[in-house]
Amino acid sequence: MQTTDCVFDFCANPDPAIAYFRTHIFPHLAGFALSFDAVKNFAFPLISQIGVNYHHSALSEKADSHFAVKAGDRMPYFRFENKSIYDVLRQPKFHWITFTNEQKDISATLDEIENFYPDLIDFQTVSLTPKITDIFGVDEPFYVLLRPDNYIAIITQKISLSNMREYFNRIGCGG
């Protein structure tokens, strides 16, 4: 927020010297700086805010640290079944995504969670492809609970209704 305020103050400042710098000098400096890949690689995640994470937030469960993607990270972009993962994350609710190629019997637990939180969570299943394995750093089935803003709340290889209830009670969404 402080960075956003500083940028806004710079852009909206009526001082003639700052206005001259903003309109005549800064564009040339920014164009020159952005001609370097290192600057682009640093600036793009900062400006676009895709580099923002919530690892230390109370909304991010601290568990299963062996994943390359952590709770508090934004859901990585990938394609599956000829669509973007974000195509199935449009509803303003939590999203439970099961990454698996197996048909092992977790349906009872998922049904339990879905029955307990029918209006709070939607459910998706995504095949555990080599691309997914590369992105997340695991090759065994796992589960992701995304917050409505598409940041990861929980990433785990174990699920239970009691853990879900504990999480939702802790963040004030208990059922």
The verdict on 87 and 166 lying in the same domain is yes
With b for 16 or more beta-carbon neighbours within 10 A and e for fewer, the 21-59 pattern comes to eeeeeeeeeeeeeeeeeeeeeeeeeeeeeeeeebeeeeb
In a domain, 20, yes or no: yes
Q: Is the pTM of this model over 0.75?
A: no
Joined together, the tokens standing for residue 111 give 């049904």
Pair 91, 161 in one domain: yes
Digit-coded pLDDT (tens) for 125-166 = 899 999 999 999 999 889 899 999 899 998 988 877 778 788
Residue 120 placed within a domain: yes
Q: Is residue 69 part of a domain?
A: no
pLDDT digit string (tens) for 68-109? 889 889 899 999 989 999 998 988 999 989 898 876 656 666
Residues 37 and 105 in one domain: no
- Give a yes or no: residue 63 inside a domain: no
Among 16-25, 96-105, 106-115, the range with the most confident prediction by mean pLDDT is 16-25
Mean pLDDT of the chain, nearest integer = 80
* 32 and 88 part of one domain: no
Statement: residue 27 has pLDDT above 90: no
CA pair distance 138, 69, nearest whole angstrom = 10
Whether 74 contacts 53, CB under 8 Å: yes
Residue-range definition of the domain harbouring residue 8: 2-48
Enter the tokens of residue 84.
Answer: 């973007």
